[in-house]
Amino acid sequence: MMIRSLILTALCLCSSLQAAERPNILFILADDMGFGDLGCYGSSQIKTPALDALAANGVKFTDGYVSAPVCAPSRAGLLTGRYQQRFGFEHNLHSPHYLKPEKAGIPLDETTVAQRLKNLGYRTGLIGKWHVGSYLPEHHPNARGFDFFFGMLGGGHTYWPTLKKNSLLRNREKISEIRTPYLTDWFSREAEDFITQDSQNPWFLFLSYNTPHTPMQAKEEDLKAYSHISPKRRQIYCAMQKCMDDNIAQIISKLKATKQLENTLIVFCSDNGGSVTASSAINAPLNGMKGCFLEGGIRVPMIMHWPAGLKPGQTYSHPVITLDFTPTFVHLAGGKVEEEIVGSGKRAYKKTRDGVNLIPFLQGQKQGSPHQALFWRMAIRGSAVRSGQWKLIQTPHHPTMLFDLSNDLAEQHNLAPSMPEKVAELTNLYADWAESLKANPMWISDNFWSAYNKKLYDIDYDLTQPTGNTTKH
């Protein structure tokens, strides 16, 4: 009996030690934020000291990508670690009459990163925007691995909610009071509550801001800080960015005060490129914006900060993608994301895992690029592939585009006419990837968006940061 008791005690101590060594994970996602709208990514107008400090004391990615240039499919990819095209989630959510209810979101047979972390003993939470399914109760965040949810199920929300006008839920219940008037502040206070709850387990929090997505609404004190900026829409955008950065600073202070900062992995990025026409975001030095496959639509600011595990002051220049977050987080939690066999007999196939655990690359155990190639597709609207320095874009409404990103980051010189062999090489890479997909798109966005998408490639974008107080858009 004594020996058994000693063994059980040793196992409990070992388990506690492992739990203590596993980091907390704070994943902060901005919404439609411009690539050039952080100080550490070159902004001369917007001051973002909190995020700049995370970059300076962590890892700044120069070539961080999302898997889609619009909100919902991008989120579906990062939550599963799989190209969302593999399960038919290519466009922003749309529920035509013929669609089976269980398919109107991330399919129920897909496993989210929250489910994986919860199974590994993590306390899990989502605060903010969901936007990957709400048709059935089974699509709700509480049913997809999140112990706690506060936010909205859809894609947008007023920043000044009232009891009469809001779409906010606390878990599955409508809110009964307004905690604080401005939504970005409210999400941040809920985040502070979550990370300071007394718990023996490590935690995973997905802080999914809708900042700086439309509607363009900011607090007066933040607007005053940017009263010199014009046009007005750009002023509001800058103020919204300031508010988000100020709130992130408060959350970091709370992590310090509770002695959690050292062993908390903080990841920050945007869900897609900035919306130049809707919010006056600036993606400079990149061309393009949200909705298209130019770099300004799919390359985003990306920062990782983890004092206990990552050397500070790193700049990582190999291409990575938000699909990599799932295997990275699961690895740090002590698990592994493996390819499962789905079906049986002749219909059996591997459920491909596209993300890569980035930790060995960031800690120097692995060299080179985590990916041979990265791929993008939105049915009817076009596709893209990047391999090394080369990027190919094909759309229904423009000639094939080929760019050498090492010499032409702003994608100004189309080399497709002069380099047919390289076009063929990348086209074949894309074709092999497309043939590996096991699902067709479950829905396609309205025709209006196809026409709108065509215009995005023809806009004259700012390719340099503004030197004064006035911006073009």
Instruction: For the domain made up of 23-371+446-456, give the CATH fold.
Output: Alkaline Phosphatase, subunit A (3.40.720)
- 4 has a pLDDT exceeding 60: no
The pLDDT of residue 448 is 79
The pLDDT of residue 7 is 39
Q: What is the mean pLDDT of residues 143-160?
A: 97
Active-site choice (131, 139, 213, 473): 131
Q: What is the mean pLDDT of residues 120-127?
A: 98
pLDDT band at 345 (very low <50, low <70, confident <90, very high): confident
The pLDDT of residue 349 is 75
- 370 has a pLDDT exceeding 60: yes
Q: Hey, CA dihedral for 445, 133, 167, 79, is it positive or negative? A: negative
- 8 has a pLDDT exceeding 60: no
The pLDDT of residue 445 is 83
- 156 has a pLDDT exceeding 90: yes
- 10 has a pLDDT exceeding 60: no
pLDDT for 377-423, tens place per residue?
999 999 999 999 999 999 999 999 999 999 999 999 999 999 999 99
The pLDDT of residue 173 is 97
pLDDT for 284-312, tens place per residue?
999 999 999 999 999 999 999 999 999 99
The pLDDT of residue 100 is 83
For the chain, the domains span 23-371+446-456
155 closest CA partner among 93, 98, 217, 110 = 93
466 closest CA partner among 30, 46, 55, 60 = 46
Of the listed ranges 102-106, 125-129, 189-193, the one predicted with least confidence: 102-106
How far, CA to CA in Å, does 268 sit from each of 132, 148, 271, 444? Answer: 20, 20, 10, 29
The pLDDT of residue 71 is 96
Mean pLDDT of the residues in the chain? 93
Tokens of 174: 């409508």
The pLDDT of residue 446 is 81
- Give the rounded percent of residues in the chain with a pLDDT score beyond 90: 84
The pLDDT of residue 299 is 98
Measure the CA–CA gap between 449 and 451, rounded to whole angstroms. Answer: 5
Region label for 331, one of left (φ > 0), alpha (ψ between -120 and 50) or beta (otherwise) = alpha
The pLDDT of residue 9 is 37
Q: Is 131 a catalytic residue?
A: yes
- Whether residue 205 contacts residue 195, with contact meaning beta carbons closer than 8 Å, is answered with yes
DSSP H/E element including 289? none
- 214 has a pLDDT exceeding 90: yes
Tally of CB atoms within 10 A around 4: 8
Q: Hey, CA dihedral for 407, 319, 67, 156, is it positive or negative? A: negative
The pLDDT of residue 429 is 98
The pLDDT of residue 347 is 72
pLDDT for 176-201, tens place per residue?
999 999 999 999 999 999 999 988 89
- 1 has a pLDDT exceeding 60: no
Q: What is the mean pLDDT of residues 158-179?
A: 97
Measure the CA–CA gap between 115 and 130, rounded to whole angstroms. Answer: 15
The pLDDT of residue 467 is 84
Q: Is 40 a catalytic residue?
A: no
The pLDDT of residue 99 is 82
Q: Does the pTM exceed 0.75?
A: yes
Of the listed ranges 98-112, 152-166, 218-232, 285-299, the one predicted with least confidence: 98-112
Question: Which of the pair, 319 or 19, is modelled with greater confidence?
Answer: 319
- 280 has a pLDDT exceeding 60: yes
Q: Which amino acid is at 118?
A: K
